[in-house]
Amino acid sequence: MKANRATPSALEASEKLSMQQNAFVLLKEMIKQGRIRPGEKLLEVQVAKAFGISRSPARHALQALCDAKMVQETSGRGYQVAGRPKPEDVGQIALLEKLQISPSRQWERVYAKVEQELCLRVLFGSVRVIEAPLAEYFGVSRTVARDVLGRMQSVGMVSKDGLGHWFAEQVSPARIRHLFEIRTILEPEALRQAAAFFSREELERISHSLRYPDSGRPMQMSTVGQAETDMHIDLLSRCPNREIIHALKRTHVLFVPSLYLVDPNLTVPRDILETVFHEHLMIVDQLLDKNVRKACVNLRRHLEGAHSRWMIRFEIAAKSPFPALPPYLMEPGRPFNFRQS
């Protein structure tokens, strides 16, 4: 029996998903950088035309922005950018520069999906990665599959055992501690170097979103994921030292409980989240006050206390439904039936 393979329609859906993800990221960055201002409106047809995509991925990208609370659906047409608008911007159609979005290259598409799958799995156990079913599952050549695994090996995500088998090793408690140590050392320096590239509008938007706990509503895991992404991934990605960014990518497995293991019904204890949001807010407000040195000091303190909070969130997230292994992954020690490939 052959391994399940993505059908042509599934591959088209994957490319469409890539289009909407690219559109989402572009719009998100434009909002963060103040090129699209609070109060301005975004229209589905306008986004499709500006990015050279169909209306379906444009619609999904705008809905994703709405889910991230970066825009709000209006009673009429379109979405209004969240934040504190200037009176003259309210209701104005945002001006979008024309940027042609192209489908991602094959290895990038496969890498992103396998990375997400492995980051999730290694929190619970080691897994083998089988090259032939990987290529067949994503409808690519063995060369592309091998390229993906080689790139993952270069950042320590996968390794080869003595028999030449690819495997991803379970993240042990010791490694989790070591990853937090790396973050504690590198993230404050990344913040120091990146601070010159933040726009005031971007920082004000993050500051506004971090006041969400004051509403008294239940805090969902996806809200935590957005806060973590804003602070520890998006802001720090502006650091001009790419070696620091490359090293920090190895720690992104720590964001899995907030980003990938999400059940809409799971909520996080308010005392935990209020501490996290308060510390994030303090750092962002210090950046708004141009006190970069103090923001870096408080980011280090925040990370020093993050390990124990991470364990609590992980235990909550682990209650999410856990899907079966895809055909290109298997538990170590289990013999692989080559007739399946």
Q: What is the CATH number of the domain that holds 193?
A: 1.20.120.530
- Asked if residue 38 lies in contact with residue 70, where contact means CB atoms within 8 angstroms, the answer is no
146 in the same domain as 73: no
What is the pLDDT at residue 186?
A: 97
The last residue of one of the domains, among 89, 114, 147, is 89
Give long-range contacts, CB 8 A cutoff, 24+ apart: 110-115.
110/134, 110/138, 110/140, 110/144, 110/145, 110/148, 111/148, 111/151, 111/152, 113/138, 114/148, 114/152, 114/328, 115/152, 115/157
Q: What is the pLDDT of residues 56-105, one digit of tens each?
A: 888 888 998 998 889 998 877 889 999 888 888 888 888 887 877 765 57
Q: What is the pLDDT of residues 29-45, one digit of tens each?
A: 889 888 899 999 999 99
Residue 316 pLDDT level (bands cut at 50, 70, 90): low
Torsion sign, CA atoms 34, 228, 154, 6: negative
**CA atoms of 226 and 268, how far apart (whole Å):** 14
Residue 204 lies in a domain: yes
Say which residue, 176 or 303, is predicted with more confidence.
303
Residue 247 lies in a domain: yes
Residue 95 lies in a domain: no
118 in the same domain as 48: no
Q: Is 280 left (phi over 0), alpha (psi -120 to 50) or beta?
A: alpha
Beta-sheet pairing, 127-129 with 329-330: antiparallel
Give me the sheet containing 329-330, strands edge to edge: 159-160, 166-168, 127-129, 329-330
Residue 76 lies in a domain: yes
**Domain enclosing residue 35, as ranges:** 8-89
The last residue of one of the domains, among 89, 116, 134, is 89
How far is Cα of residue 5 from the mean position of the Cα atoms in its chain? 26
DSSP state of 94: P
pTM score, two decimals?
0.59
Residue 150 lies in a domain: yes
Number of domains, the chain: 3
Residue 94 lies in a domain: no
Residue 12 lies in a domain: yes
Contacts of 244 (CB under 8 A, 6+ apart): 186, 189, 190, 193
307 in the same domain as 205: yes
The number of residues in the chain equals: 341
State the average pLDDT over residues 161-183: 88
Contacts of 117 (CB under 8 A, 6+ apart): 326, 329
Residue 309 lies in a domain: yes
**CA atoms of 55 and 49, how far apart (whole Å):** 9
328 in the same domain as 305: no
251 in the same domain as 157: no
Residue 9 pLDDT level (bands cut at 50, 70, 90): very low
295 in the same domain as 194: yes
